[in-house]
């Protein structure tokens, strides 16, 4: 099934980007001197990725109520 492989690959890419954003946010916060607007944009992007990850995970998991 090519579609499932594509979803899995996309899910992994999103997880990697989410992890990288998490590290970047932590790094900027620890430095103490950062652009607040830039930090907010990173956090928004991270939340968006989290939502996209949840959507893909739900597509990949079988429906347990069926």
Chain segment 13-58, per-residue pLDDT in tens: 999 999 999 999 999 999 887 789 999 999 999 999 999 999 999 9
This prediction's pTM: 0.83
**Residue with structure tokens 């932590």?**
26
Domain ranges of the chain: 2-60
Q: How confident is the model at residue 3 (pLDDT cuts 50, 70, 90)?
A: confident
Question: How far apart are the two ends of the chain, measured CA to CA in Å?
Answer: 21
């Amino acid at each position: 099934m090519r579609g499932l492989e594509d979803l899995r690959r996309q899910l992994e890419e999103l997880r990697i980007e989410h992890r990288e954003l998490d590290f970047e946010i932590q790094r900027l916060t620890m430095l103490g001197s950062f652009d607040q607007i830039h930090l907010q944009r990173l956090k928004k992007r991270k939340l968006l990725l989290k939502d996209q990850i949840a959507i893909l995970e739900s597509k990949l998991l079988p429906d347990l109520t069926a």
